[in-house]
Amino acid sequence: MTQPQLTFDAPADTYTARVAQLFRAHPKTWLDGLEIARVGGMYGWRTRVSECRVSGMRIDNRQRKVGRRTVSEYAYFPFEG
């Protein structure tokens, strides 16, 4: 008896893919690093942002002071044209 060939084409669900999806869902919107960490992993979200940049996404960073806290925010700017 021969076992039938099984195919399983599940979409890749990686932390990097989740971060990219978050940015694409909110283009030109500044997102707090803590929000990105919720989908990109608390200890590796900065790496995920870097991986998105390497894959060709333009992601800018800005930092601002809120009281004594420095808020780090990121925004995705799709290439137009």
Tally of domains within the chain: 1
Q: What is the pLDDT of residue 64?
A: 95
- In sequence order, the β-bridge partners of residue 63 are 72
Assess if residue 7 is contained within a domain. no
CATH for 49: 1.10.10
Task: Return mean pLDDT, the chain.
Answer: 89
Assess if residue 27 is contained within a domain. yes
pLDDT band at 71; cut points 50, 70, 90: very high
Q: Which domain holds residue 33?
A: 15-76
What's the CA gap between 81 and 69, in Å, rounded?
Answer: 38
Assess if residue 50 is contained within a domain. yes
In our burial notation (b when 16+ CB lie closer than 10 A, e otherwise), range 33-69 reads beebbebbbeeebbebbebbeeeebebeeeeeeeeee
* Helix/strand/coil percentages in the chain, nearest 5: 35, 20, 40
Whether the pLDDT of residue 12 is over 90: the answer is no
pLDDT band at 10; cut points 50, 70, 90: very low
